[in-house]
Amino acid sequence: MRTKSFCQGALLGSLVCFLLLVSCYAEQDQTTSGLGVPSHNEEFNTAADLDEGKFKKPIPFFKKPFPPKIPIFKKPIPHPIPVFKKPLPPPIPIVKKPLPPIPGFEKPVIPPTPIVKKPLPHFKKPLPIKKPLPPIPDLKKPFLDEKPIPFFKKPPIPVFKKPFPHPIPIIKKPFPPLKKPLFPPFPIHKPIVKKPIP
């Protein structure tokens, strides 16, 4: 039977990536063959570094000039406003008014009012007639007979005793058998193989 390998494409892809990484990040001294021969790129780089020192010119240091100062124009102070003081008004003359003349007459006295007494009547009010009080009735309870009051005894309350309930029968469960029952043997069909005659 043929069995398919798991993730064939993933394995191939990982191998390709690994080879690319090794080829990109290998040391510059070694070539692809791995013999340790220096590459031409390194020679060109060293020559360029040596020639760079000959033709290197000093760069002059230029300072950026400061911008011109902005002229600050100060506003002229305005002329002071003349303060004219208002003249005070002339003083008001205080004229005192003379008091009115007090009259020499007095108010007339009112004559006293006469006290008029009402004449009292000549007859007297009759006194109320006293009525005799009604006699208080002498209500006495009649004496009871001398016979003794019969004393009735209450009949005794019968006490009913509750009958005892019937005893609950205790049914004991039979114990299970100690030995498990043996099941009949399961028939096994064996093929009859005939031995070949020698």
**148-153: which pairs have CB atoms within 8 A and are 24 or more residues apart?**
none
Rounded to an integer, the average pLDDT of 21-33 is 61
For the cut 80, the answer to whether the pLDDT of residue 160 exceeds it is yes
Domain that holds residue 41: 30-54
Number of independent structural domains in the chain: 1
When comparing pLDDT for 6 and 36, which is higher? 6
pLDDT: which is higher, 3 or 88: 88
The confidence band for 75, taking pLDDT boundaries of 50, 70 and 90, is confident
Tokens 């005793």 sit on residue: 161
Q: Are 18 and 24 in contact (CB under 8 A)?
A: no
Q: What's the token pair of residue 138? A: 């002498």
Tokens of 74: 């100060």
Burial (CB count within 10 angstroms: exposed 0-12, middle 13-18, buried 19+), residue 48 = exposed
Residue 75: inside a domain: no
Q: Please name which of 27, 47, 31 lies closest in space to residue 39, comparing C-alpha atoms.
A: 31
Residue 3, token pair as written in the block: 């069995």
Whether 50 maps to a domain, the answer reads yes
In a domain, 41, yes or no: yes
Residue 5 pLDDT > 70:
no
Q: Please give the pLDDT value at position 52.
A: 55
Residue 149, pLDDT above cutoff 50: yes
Q: Which tokens go with 195? A: 């031995």
Residue 74 in this model has a pLDDT that exceeds 80: yes
Listed in sequence order, the residues at least 6 apart from 28 whose beta carbon sits closer than 8 Å to its beta carbon are 38, 39, 41, 42
In a domain, 111, yes or no: no
Which tens digit of pLDDT belongs to each residue from 174-196?
A: 887 777 777 777 777 777 777 77
Question: DSSP class of residue 32?
Answer: T
The CA distance from 157 to 155, in Å, is 6
Asked whether the beta carbons of 36 and 42 are under 8 A apart, the reply is no
Residue 37, in any domain of the structure: yes
